[in-house]
Structure 1
Amino acid sequence: MESGLKEAVSIGQLINFLHDPNRNKRKDGLVQLSNILQSESSENVKSLFSSKLKPALIEIFGDSSESNREKVIDLINQLLSQNKINEDDIPHIVQKLHERLGHDPCPETCEEIKVKESVTLKLIATNHWNLLLPSFGYIIDIVCKQGKESSPAIKISIAEIVSILCDSFGDRIGFSSKRIFDSMRNNLYHQQFKVRLQTLTTLGKICICEGALIFEDIIVDFKKLQLDRRKEVREVLYKVIGDIMCKLQYTVLRSFEGKLSYLLLGGFSESEFAWINEVIDNVGYRRKVLAQEFTENVEDYIMSDAGEFLILRNLQELVQLALDDIQEWTMQDHYRSKAASILDYTIRAAQNHITPHLDSIFKVIFKAYAQSEDKAFSALFENCIEKIGMFCDFDLVLTLFRKFCLTDITSPTEKSGGLILFAKMLNSLLLTEDRMKKIVSFIAEKDLSDYPEIPKSLQLVIESLILQAKSLCISHVNSLFHSLLLLENSSAQESVQKTMGILAEYCGLLSVSDLYATQLPTALPLLTRDYRNWDSDSKERSLFKSLIVKSGSAVSQYFDTIVEVMSVNSQREKDSEVRFTMLVILENSLNLSELDNYIRSYCRKILESIIVPTAAWKVGISNVEIRVSSMLCLEKLIGKMLIEDSVLVELWDKVFPVVKTCLDDDWDKDLRISACRVIISFFEFYSHILDEILVSGIYPELLKRLDDSQDYIRMIICVPLEKLFKVILERGIRFGNYKFMIETLLVHLDDPSENIQKSVKNVLQVARLYDAETFLELSRSAQHKHRHPRAVTELIEESQNQS
């Protein structure tokens, strides 16, 4: 040591200076040490640092003098950059940095020193990452605290440190990803774009390490950054998203790939980002490999190009996200324009695969187009409609135009915009005689000339058709002429005359009958696409009922979908009209014997998700009708024995309580009668599942009905009471409340109505067989109290003879 290190005595003195009470001496010592150690060999400095220098320097981390604290950090950074500190000493430095930077409030108050200390941590993370695992918690505390600092330099350094940690400890960073994200999130909107750039890059790496914890939040930030004022930030954003999708774990990717793909497609609206195609292709290629590796059901489009595959894989979500953004009027116009651009590209890539989503697309586009005052924004919708006309089934597209242009579901302004879109579509449509007939029929189907907003739009449709059809107009001249004639006295009169001249040149068009061919396989998905949001005004709800009811047994192969729709729309929060419609569908299905096996296989869901919620009490007269219908359906389910025994036993605690509330309803006698019929059917077809526990829960409810205000109910409730005792006798069920029940029945045996006496007597004739001695005792006691003792006397005599 003496031979290798110059001025050893001087160094010892300088180290002593570091402990001197005079801060100026401490500062001089640091300055001179820095100069001396600069030229010393690495091994000598490492030895000196470990043996003598480390305690003194670490002590000055907390020096009262900002200048001294800054000097010691400069010296540490100098030694770290020259690799003159032993690896064993690194954790001590990290620990001291944690004491200064990792607490709240932060002991270190000088911003310049914080900047240099963040550089220290960055040097350690860069050159000694393999030593950081024991100090990982300290480092996380530091970055989470310092990530919120106001200094741009600190923000950038912290982001770089986290980036290094992600590269080195990807499996460990996940546990702290939410903390780090929360501390750095606001930096995405910092005024300095370099801070935004580095933060964005770092958070992208965190997503790859553990995206599931932060994706819901960071996707919102990614979306905002699409409108960042700096092109560099937007460019990095799309590259980060592509990198995430190329490296993210499969399970996490599946959960968020739709939203990420949507954001990535937003790059197509940036004309200078031509490279976005390559990014999307890379992501699509990786997604295709994963789909094959994990055997996803993608046979329909596995042969597509990589980019198209990505879009088709997430088509439903992409369409929905675009439509949601287009409809969101609280968003900036740039977002809505970007959404329209994404929708345009999605339709172009998906081609005919977009068909199942056309209803939703048309609904949104018609409204947005009608309200748009931006020509570029409107042009995007025109492009969408043109592509739909090229790629999708023409009959379906025309049906949708008919739905949105000729029905009352759209306003006159939206109808006008829809007709303009139709005219734009005709400009690029390949016309055949068959299509011509259908378009003419569409034009002539409804007189729209009374709406002041529509004539000009309809005139554009007719003119576009004539110009495109040319000689095909010959066979349709009368219909076209008639349609134009309806517009003669409208605001489009001058334009109509011009169109008349064109028609005269190319000839006309004849009317044809309407096309209304609809099949269950295509109609059902369209009608039920938004079934979770049905309410009393939903047209699809009534169409769904008509479709199912009129399709008869053909619905069997779609019964799972039908049951799901009925289940969702039978819940208590749904409108009464919706719930009643579902019960009508269920009752119709129960009347079709061809569906019995399908109903039996779904009996659990039908009971739990349809019968129980519709039979439960809910305020309102209309709900009584629903509960009665529910009881009728339950009676048929039981009467046809479509419920598995095990299912009924398992769901007994859910089903019987709602039946009980129907039995107890004071408002409507029909509801009580329907519930009684359910009980009667149950005892007739499912009495074999009864045990002591079920019996103890049923009989009190049956006895209550003997006090009903309606004699008819009092009579019919005796049927299950009689069956109850037969089951008890046949199966040897122990019945502890026999005495109470006989006493109650004997009271009602004295009813003035002979019909009720007869019904109760039938019950008692079976009940006496359970315990003849007790029965005789109770009957004799009641005999002296009855006003009409004949019935009880006959029972006593029969019992004695039987004995």
Structure 2
Amino acid sequence: MAALDENSNTVLQGIARHINCLGEDNRNTRKRALENIQRDTLLRDIALESIELQLIFKEILPPVLKVFSDPVEKCRELSTNIVMSFLKIVPDPEDHLSYIIPVLVQRLGQQEIVENSEEQRLLLVELLKQILEFSGKNIAMYLDDCIAILQRTIVDPYPEVKKESCRCAGYLAKKIPEHFHMQSESLIKPLLLSIAHQHSKVRAIVIEAIGDVVQYGNGKTVEPVVSHLAQRLFDQSPAVRKVLIKVVGSWLLDLPDRYSFFHKLIPLLLTGMTDEQPEISELADSYWHDTGIKYERENEDDLKDKQDFAKEDPQHYPANVERPNLGCRILMQRNLSKILPGLMKDIGDWVLETRIKSAALLYVLLLNAEEYITQHMEIVLSGTYRACMDEEPKVVRDVFRSCELIGYFVSPEVWCKIVLNNVRASQSSGSLMVLAAVIKGSEKEKLKPYLSMICETITSSDVCQSIQPQVQLQLIACVDSIGLIMADETSSVAVQLFTVLLTALALAQDQNVKDKVNSSLEQLATVLGLSSKQHLFELYTKSVIKQFDDNYFSWTNHSMERQIFDTLLIEAGDVIGDLLEDIIPILVTSLKPEKDPEMRLKFFTLLSRLVMNAANTLDSKKKFSGFAVSVVKDMVMPNCVWRAGRTAGAIRTTAISCLWALLKSHVLSKEKMEPIVENLLTQVITLMEDDNKSTRLIACRVLTRLFELMGGTLNQDRLHNIYPELLKRLDDSSDEIRVVVAKTFLAYFDCFGEGYDPDLYKAHLEAIFKGLLVHLDDSEKKIQEAILEVLKRAGQLHPAMLKQEVESVKHKHRTGQYCDILLKDVQVQ
């Protein structure tokens, strides 16, 4: 021992001058002194014994510590390294802490940063970490000093200092928890100031430190950190989120006061189960499972009955989902009331990411709560109604999945009253989406007694007759859900489901909605065992039409029922051929002249469309001929009467167009037309003078067809009353009409039978010939050629008279070409 002392004294004598030089003004002198001290003590060729170094270190420590404040950074660095090196090898390093700790506090623990070098501050914090590692429980007497240092270094601008300080905080908490818990609150604020640092590694280490500080601190530290940790759930770095899940998971398992904070911590962990990174979600799921198991063990006495007489897993349970253990379910049931209010508020938050995370969390909460959801239906549903209308598809998807769980775990007796009342009251897409989702999650046998109530709600006019695309899509979704769940039992409400889809199709202005309806009709047909959607129309068209019996007489252009009726007749195809007795009265009533003009216009458009394809619609069953006269008499003719206004003019055009389509379809026979032909001719001739060119043109075509149909049955006096009107039309402003009238004249002359006496009606024929010969000299060649054909046909009635009339006007014509052709034709006759 004496030899050791002698050896150490020798070394001290050798470095005495270097120690004295530490106080010199020259920086280089101080630097060389430190290097020499290091060389002669720590870096000797023949290393000193630890006991020797202990004696030496005791002597040199005070002067070296003074250099910690040296203005030269290199000197401060060398002095720190010397102290750190000695502490690693001396036998009792904690004996020197009374000198070192105050210096560290002076350099690092002041209000303002004393040490301006980032690298030196890092070196000093590493020194503190070294002290914490070797001092063990003895650091307790310096706890206040350590806390003072860490309060400053955790918020240090240099990221590396922050990270090392956080590690020190965690180490300190674990070393002396029995003392640390009294000071733990002091570190929470600086840690929280650093938790949002721009470097992800810093954020991760800060969260780890918070985990240790809270774990070994007191319960008061949990409350302020939870909201900050919740923000880290949105962190872009998976590594940060993973650390967060580890911290929260360990708290749920081991935090001394965890029972008081379950409602705060559970949402954080379960949100991790919805993370997009599989590694994180699986980690969170593992922690949650372990938490449930541990809760079961800790509360074994309370849960004994539930464990001993546990029910079998429910048969009706979401597919491909593992049921949480009993502890998890009980934990959720006991904390759900504290979690839900805040969560439902966050689902409607203005920040998109918050809404996405909250919607995903809701699913996990409800999956764990199971039938306990029943007690919280009002608050859950009030939030989901709004969330279902969110613009973000992810939010809507997860809320829909959550509502499906309501169907799995809550009796229809409970949810029907709440959801259906809201559907009727709000008539919103959100309410209908919730209904569709809950139905989709329900059990067939339990849902069956409430099926008619559900269908009654969605088919009510207030709900069903919406023009909003989103509402229409959700109505379709409700129908799809019912078909999916009820399958063969759907037939009892099939007509109501068909009505919903038909209404959506009729009122849809969006092609996407129309496509969805057609797809759903096909699905409904499949569910009912039908080969195609057309069979749905065969089964239910009559029932839908019967629904209009009470209100069709009061329809206007804006009546939803009118649009539904319109769509039904178009989509039903050949089915309506058997339902004419139901359809025609509605058409007759709706086309009365006193009805809304715009509505009549729409009905004539519908009627024309059906008549033009009569073989596949109205006359598909060869029964329409029995109603065709009624169409002409009760629908067309009353609407051909002149009335002022553009709309009235459009109705006349549409009405005569409908008559033209009817005549072309060949469903009107000569015998059926005889009773009404006189009045019809009068009305058609009136339309030949209409202001609208289209009306005049179609009227001429209709008259042509009437002449062709009725032939020689028309009274000759009646025929003679018509030709003046035809001659007038040869002066029409439209050449197209004049050409058509020429064809009408051809049909007109065909009506004069073999018993016609040309001498008796000489005056009429003379007037006809003279009127036609005027237009034989028309400036338009096509008119001349058309009139030539008419005169050839007219000349057959009285050739001599026509020859005489031609010769009397031939010299007045600009060219005698057509007169010569006509005379030659008459000569042949």
Question: Would the TM-score normalized by the shorter structure come out above 0.5?
Answer: yes
Q: CA deviation at 1:487?
A: 5.1
Q: CA deviation at 1:476?
A: 3.3
Pick aligned residue for 2:53 from 45, 51, 54: 45
Pick aligned residue for 1:442 from 448, 452, 457: 457
SS in structure 1 at match of 2:112: coil
In the TM superposition, what are the counterparts of 1:493-572 in structure 2 within 5 Å?
502=524
Pick aligned residue for 2:183 from 176, 189, 196: 176
Quote the residue 1:266 is aligned against. Answer: 271
- CA-to-partner distance for each residue in 1:40-61, whole Å, 9 max, x for gaps? 22110111222x2122112222
Contact 2:347–2:358 (8 Å) recurs in 1: yes
Quote the residue 1:360 is aligned against. Answer: 379
Alpha-carbon spacing, 1:297–1:312, altered in 2? closer, same or farther (3 Å):
farther
- Is 1:430 aligned with 2:468? no
The aligned amino acid for 1:315 is: L
In the TM superposition, what are the counterparts of 1:659-674 in structure 2 within 5 Å?
none
Q: CA deviation at 1:200?
A: 0.8
TM-score of the superposed pair, with normalisation by structure 2: 0.56
Quote the residue 1:13 is aligned against. Answer: 17
Q: CA deviation at 1:228?
A: 1.4
Q: CA deviation at 1:21?
A: 4.1
The aligned amino acid for 2:156 is: E
CA distance, structure 2, for counterparts of residue 320 and residue 199 of structure 1: 30
Pick aligned residue for 1:325 from 327, 340, 346: 346
- CA-to-partner distance for each residue in 1:567-600, whole Å, 9 max, x for gaps? xxxxxxxxxxxxxxxxxxxxxxxxxxxxxxxxxx
The aligned amino acid for 1:324 is: K
Quote the residue 2:166 is aligned against. Answer: 159
Quote the residue 2:398 is aligned against. Answer: 380
Quote the residue 2:122 is aligned against. Answer: 115
SS in structure 2 at match of 1:314: helix
Contact 2:267–2:339 (8 Å) recurs in 1: yes
The aligned amino acid for 2:207 is: L
Quote the residue 2:559 is aligned against. Answer: none
CA distance, structure 2, for counterparts of residue 254 and residue 297 of structure 1: 19
- CA-to-partner distance for each residue in 1:296-331, whole Å, 9 max, x for gaps? 9996999653333332332223333321211212x2
CA distance, structure 2, for counterparts of residue 470 and residue 164 of structure 1: 63
CA distance, structure 1, for counterparts of residue 153 and residue 484 of structure 2: 68
Quote the residue 2:358 is aligned against. Answer: 339
Alpha-carbon spacing, 1:80–1:477, altered in 2? closer, same or farther (3 Å):
same
The aligned amino acid for 2:442 is: L
CA distance, structure 2, for counterparts of residue 428 and residue 459 of structure 1: 16
SS in structure 2 at match of 1:128: helix
Quote the residue 2:623 is aligned against. Answer: none
Alpha-carbon spacing, 1:201–1:495, altered in 2? closer, same or farther (3 Å):
closer
Contact 1:98–1:141 (8 Å) recurs in 2: yes
Contact 2:329–2:369 (8 Å) recurs in 1: yes
Q: CA deviation at 1:349?
A: 2.0
CA distance, structure 2, for counterparts of residue 189 and residue 171 of structure 1: 30
In the TM superposition, what are the counterparts of 1:119-198 in structure 2 within 5 Å?
119-198=126-205
The aligned amino acid for 1:392 is: V
In the TM superposition, what are the counterparts of 1:307-326 in structure 2 within 5 Å?
307-326=328-347
The aligned amino acid for 1:43 is: I
Pick aligned residue for 2:423 from 398, 405, 413: 405
Quote the residue 1:282 is aligned against. Answer: 290
CA distance, structure 1, for counterparts of residue 164 and residue 181 of structure 2: 20
Question: Which moved further from structure 2: 439-448 or 498-507?
Answer: 498-507
Alpha-carbon spacing, 1:434–1:189, altered in 2? closer, same or farther (3 Å):
same
Quote the residue 1:472 is aligned against. Answer: 489
Quote the residue 2:63 is aligned against. Answer: 56
Pick aligned residue for 1:371 from 378, 387, 390: 390
SS in structure 2 at match of 1:371: coil
- Is 1:490 aligned with 2:495? no
Alpha-carbon spacing, 1:190–1:505, altered in 2? closer, same or farther (3 Å):
same
In the TM superposition, what are the counterparts of 1:203-242 in structure 2 within 5 Å?
203-242=210-249
Contact 1:447–1:486 (8 Å) recurs in 2: no
- CA-to-partner distance for each residue in 1:207-245, whole Å, 9 max, x for gaps? 112353332321111111112121111101000001112
Q: CA deviation at 1:79?
A: 1.0
Quote the residue 1:2 is aligned against. Answer: 6
Pick aligned residue for 1:78 from 85, 88, 105: 85
Contact 2:94–2:134 (8 Å) recurs in 1: no
Contact 2:465–2:504 (8 Å) recurs in 1: no
Q: CA deviation at 1:104?
A: 1.6
The aligned amino acid for 2:219 is: A
CA distance, structure 1, for counterparts of residue 309 and residue 69 of structure 2: 63
Q: CA deviation at 1:499?
A: 5.5
Q: CA deviation at 1:163?
A: 0.8
Contact 2:8–2:55 (8 Å) recurs in 1: no
CA distance, structure 2, for counterparts of residue 19 and residue 495 of structure 1: 90
The aligned amino acid for 1:49 is: F
Contact 2:423–2:463 (8 Å) recurs in 1: no
The aligned amino acid for 1:27 is: K
Contact 1:437–1:476 (8 Å) recurs in 2: yes
The aligned amino acid for 1:175 is: M
Alpha-carbon spacing, 1:100–1:481, altered in 2? closer, same or farther (3 Å):
closer
CA distance, structure 1, for counterparts of residue 100 and residue 413 of structure 2: 74
Contact 1:225–1:237 (8 Å) recurs in 2: yes
Q: Kindly name which structure, 1 or 2, has the bigger radius of gyration based on alpha carbons.
A: 2
Quote the residue 1:417 is aligned against. Answer: 430
SS in structure 2 at match of 1:227: coil
Q: CA deviation at 1:403?
A: 2.4
Q: CA deviation at 1:31?
A: 0.8
Q: CA deviation at 1:129?
A: 2.9
Contact 1:177–1:210 (8 Å) recurs in 2: yes
SS in structure 2 at match of 1:175: coil
Q: CA deviation at 1:158?
A: 1.0
CA distance, structure 1, for counterparts of residue 196 and residue 472 of structure 2: 49
The aligned amino acid for 1:258 is: H
Alpha-carbon spacing, 1:8–1:505, altered in 2? closer, same or farther (3 Å):
closer
Contact 2:407–2:440 (8 Å) recurs in 1: no
Consecutive unaligned residues in structure 2, runs of 5 or more: 311-324, 531-535, 545-829
CA distance, structure 2, for counterparts of residue 496 and residue 12 of structure 1: 98
Percentage of matched positions with identical amino acids? 20
Q: CA deviation at 1:480?
A: 4.2
- CA-to-partner distance for each residue in 1:151-200, whole Å, 9 max, x for gaps? 11211111111111100122322333232111222221222222212111
Quote the residue 2:475 is aligned against. Answer: 458
Alpha-carbon spacing, 1:92–1:297, altered in 2? closer, same or farther (3 Å):
farther
The aligned amino acid for 1:405 is: V
Pick aligned residue for 1:30 from 31, 34, 45: 34
Contact 2:53–2:90 (8 Å) recurs in 1: no
Q: CA deviation at 1:343?
A: 1.0
The aligned amino acid for 1:41 is: E
- CA-to-partner distance for each residue in 1:363-416, whole Å, 9 max, x for gaps? 111111112342x33211121111211121112122222122111xx3x4xx22
Contact 1:246–1:283 (8 Å) recurs in 2: yes
Question: Which moved further from structure 2: 130-139 or 239-248?
Answer: 130-139
Alpha-carbon spacing, 1:426–1:134, altered in 2? closer, same or farther (3 Å):
closer
The aligned amino acid for 2:356 is: S
The aligned amino acid for 2:406 is: I
Contact 1:146–1:155 (8 Å) recurs in 2: yes
Quote the residue 2:327 is aligned against. Answer: 306
Contact 1:156–1:198 (8 Å) recurs in 2: yes
Contact 1:285–1:306 (8 Å) recurs in 2: yes
Alignment size in residue pairs: 499
Quote the residue 1:348 is aligned against. Answer: 367
